[in-house]
Amino acid sequence: MAIFKGSGVAIVTPMNEDETVNYEKLNELIDEQIAGGTDAIVICGTTGESACLTVEEHLATIRECVEYVNHRVPVVAGTGSNCTRDAVAMSKQAEEFGVDGLLCVTPYYNKATQKGLVQHYTAISEAVHTPIIMYNVPSRTGCNIQPETAAYLAKNTKNVRALKAASGNLSQIARTIALAGDDLDVYSGNDDQIVPIMALGGLGVISVLSNVAPAQTHAICQNMLDGDVKVAAKLQLQAVDLIDSLFCEVNPIPVKTALNLMGRDVGPLRAPMCGMEEKNLERLKKSLENYGLL
């Protein structure tokens, strides 16, 4: 059974001005997302500045999210690490909090061979019972889960259930789906590829766009799930300019800036994330205006 179908928001982590986590604001954002039709909350992923959170903050934010969502929608927690032991420990703790899924990125910086990836995800799988979503984003990690590896893990572990596919390579994603079949659920990890990936059999998206446009992102997915590809494609194309602007600098710089421009007051970014270049800021403002969000 899938962890979720449709639009999962890779939610930002709001900060107070002193850069502590703003849990009150996080709860407000969660309510807005659920009201907008978002199908799952993905907490402490890349967009949530997980790399800049302490372990204590990371776990506290997951716990707060699970408690506040209170089963209204599934909660998926980012618990990946470039150290297998740390990924196991974080995943076990998140499981104790009651998350519905674990999002585990490929090991970054030290990377891994395909054999190493099998060992990494197998170790996490053996330590927990919660469904695991592998997160493949080679542009950020320097590590790429090959289709054969993804299919092997889906077929030979008890709970590696899904893949967040953010390679940008539709041919690779198609081959992964062909090899894994019903043993692996696939979610788009790129907002500009929701429709093509769902057309290949994907179940939805883990989305940055949903932070600023939850109803629209949900509508793209829901129309695909309902078989209305024409409407979904139209909505996808309408969002392309905004999606491009949300990635004109390193995520989550633009999306957190966008939320502040929209009056959501999600606070500052943590270093080494920094303010946007002026030309990119103006581009983002224009895209938000054109999309009707400013």
**Which residues carry out catalysis?**
135, 164
Q: Of 58, 153, 156, nearest to 106 (Cα)?
A: 153
Dist. CA 108–CA 83, nearest whole Å: 9
- Cβ pair 133, 104 in contact under 8 A: yes
Q: Of 96, 113, 94, 114, nearest to 104 (Cα)?
A: 94
CA atoms within 13 A on the CB side of 38: 29
Runs of H (alpha helix) within 200-293: 214-225, 229-238, 240-246, 253-261, 278-290
31 contacts: CB under 8 Å, gap ≥ 6: none
Question: In 10 A of CB 234, how many CB atoms?
Answer: 14
Between the two ends of the chain, the Cα-to-Cα distance in Å is 39
